[in-house]
Amino acid sequence: MICRSLYASLAHSKIMIAVRECLLGGFAIAVVAVAAPASIATASCPKYLGSDIAVQSVSVGSGNFSVDRNWYGPGFHIGGVYYSKGFYVHAPSVASFPLNGAFSQFTGCVGQDDGDGDCGNGSRIRVYGDGRLLWERDIGNGPAVCPPHLNIAGVQTLVFEADPKGDKTCDEVEWVNALVF
């Protein structure tokens, strides 16, 4: 069912190819083999971090790690946009997910929750694959920031760090639509 909903909502061609493969099984593999590079033909069914792949270890600066909800209710609110899928942490935080080398790409967006308004000095977000820095960006209040698709081929453990930059006020960090495939 996850594949079916993604097929309807996501527009990126690589994701569409991966989801089509999941929906149609072996028949789609033959189609993809003609239409896309071999690396895409072998893509895994997209999975949500948090709900499909449970966190392996996590530390947070306040409250609790939560999936598909923030600390005060279902879903997430970033820059006036509601998201239903994702995970919530309060900086300083380190959250690790076990991938066991089964996926090739990560896609998702990150932002700070709207709930407390514009306060604090924001957070610095880092993503690591087996200890190697894959992406780093400062975030604050406002629209979610979406890194480019990250190459996670062969990665055993994917780690998301939220650095409070010295002041953890309002550092309510939400990764939304965080998918590996």
Q: Would you give the binding string for Ca ion spanning residues 103-132, x where CB under 5 A is met? A: -----------------xx-----------
Query: Least distance in Å: CB of 164 to Ca ion?
Result: 4
Is 161 a binder of Ca ion (CB under 5 A)? no
Residue nearest Ca ion, CB atom distance: 164
Other C-beta atoms lying within 10 Å of the C-beta of residue 95: 23
Task: State the Cα angle at 108 between 105 and 111, rounded to 5°.
Answer: 150
Is 138 a binder of Ca ion (CB under 5 A)? no
Tally of CA atoms within 13 A in the half-sphere of 71 that contains its CB: 17
Two tokens, residue 100:
């066991």
Is 92 a binder of Ca ion (CB under 5 A)? no
Largest CA distance in the chain: 53
CA–CA gap between residue 101 and residue 104 (Å, rounded):
8
Q: Which residue's CB is nearer to Ca ion, number 6 or number 125?
A: 125
Q: Which stretch binds Ca ion (CB under 5 A): 32-40, 93-101, 142-150, 160-168?
A: 160-168
Is 164 a binder of Ca ion (CB under 5 A)? yes
Is 165 a binder of Ca ion (CB under 5 A)? yes
Is 167 a binder of Ca ion (CB under 5 A)? yes
How far apart are the two ends of the chain, measured CA to CA in Å? 16
Could you tell me how many residues make up the chain? Answer: 181
Query: Least distance in Å: CB of 29 to Ca ion?
Result: 46
Query: Least distance in Å: CB of 65 to Ca ion?
Result: 18
Coil, strand or helix at 138? strand
User: Which chain residues interact with Ca ion by CB under 5 A?
Assistant: 120-121, 164-165, 167, 171
